[in-house]
Amino acid sequence: MPQEPGADAAGQAVVLVAVLLAIAATIVVSFLREREAFAAIPLAAATWMVAHYYAFDPYYLPTHRRFSDDGSVAPAWVYGVALIGVGVAALSRKTSVPVPLYVLLCALTVVGMGVGH
């Protein structure tokens, strides 16, 4: 991690573009493909969201404070949304509609973790 407060980690921009492309692809493809293939997408989105929750917040560098350390998103919200992902994964076998909505919810939660800086 860099030593300057607010500085992004190396490769942060590349990862952000990849995540945004993955979210867009999920939304587009969910309406074009078979539904059975999408059961893993909500679980991957939930895993990404929880992993980001425990990542270092670059705003507080060089202290290595994490988003989970008294951040703007409550732990109950993060784990509640992650638990909903299991239900969305099961439901995705019948319909693909909740998958992109859930992925967007996870993305908004990740964005919300950095709000207030």
For residue range 91-113, list pLDDT tens digits in order: 988 877 788 889 889 999 998 99
Average pLDDT over residues 15-29: 79
7 in any annotated domain: no
- Provide the number of structural domains found in the chain: 1
1 in any annotated domain: no
4 in any annotated domain: no
79 in any annotated domain: yes
CB 73 within 8 A of CB 16: no
pTM exceeds 0.85 = no
* Mean of all residue pLDDT scores within the chain: 83
Q: Does residue 117 have a pLDDT over 70?
A: no
25 in any annotated domain: yes
3-state SS assignment for residue 66: strand
Q: What pLDDT score does 77 carry? A: 97
5 in any annotated domain: no
